[in-house]
Homo-oligomer: A and B are copies of this chain.
């Protein structure tokens, strides 16, 4: 056993998958699930994602070696702060939020004599949500970004790295700012574009949709609440990404309008090259 007690605050897709991975790999003696709704907590227990549950955060984190906050990004900072007030001084606090800059800034006063917070973001997920979609192998082979600050003790970084590596992820270290700028392009902008595209489809055309459109819009099925939160926390970088996207789209539009197939071909070939790099 690597840990005695791990507390997971928010046992949906991410928190539930972390619980499953910890329990199935026998990495923790006890996984405690903390949540607001007894019904979700019951489902998490039934799914085998947690050993025990509570709706009271202060009680759930009391014995924990590690607390991982897996709630929507707008709630993470408050919950980490509350956990810090009720956990042991040697407890390690981290999260799984899709944005990092604001969360890390808001928690920059933690540490010192008290428990340390290190931000993290496993790049795993799905358009589905809830513990029903959780999978023990969700983090296997995925990247997890860890965002320490210059003040983060080395030991705390090592412990967060060990947690995500233990469930199969590869840890990449970035500043919170660099993380948010990158994710604006690699995740938040694609989501915004998929949303716009899904909304553009006139009703009645469903039957004429093939795999291309289906894949291109899949993530638009994601939970609107989660994504409004993410967009809000990374608004400026997302708007920068959107500007860059607009520029690309404008080039394509001009080539189409002017019937310039040579330019159109060049733009499509560039995009293919860029996409092929993703494998």
Residues of A within 8 A of B (CB): 123-127, 142-143, 145, 172, 182-183, 185-187, 189-203, 205-225, 227-228, 231-232, 235, 238-239, 241-242, 244-245, 248-249, 252-253, 256-257, 259, 261, 264-265, 267-272, 274-278
Contacts and interface: CB of A to CB of B under 8 A. Distances in A.
B123 A217 contact: no
A174 to B, nearest CB: 9
Contacts of A267: 195, 199
Question: Which one of A214, A238, A245, A271 has the greatest number of beta carbons of chain B within 10 Å?
Answer: A271
A199 B123 CA distance: 21
9 contacts: A190-B213, A193-B193, A193-B197, A193-B216, A199-B267, A200-B245, A223-B272, A235-B256, A238-B256
Question: Which one of A124, A206, A208 has the greatest number of beta carbons of chain B within 10 Å?
Answer: A208
Contacts of A192: 249, 252
A212 B221 contact: no
B185 A272 contact: no
B228 A198 contact: no
A36 to B, nearest CB: 19
Contacts of A205: 182, 185-186
Given A172-B207, A227-B268, 6 more contacts: A123-B208, A185-B201, A190-B197, A220-B274, A223-B272, A239-B253
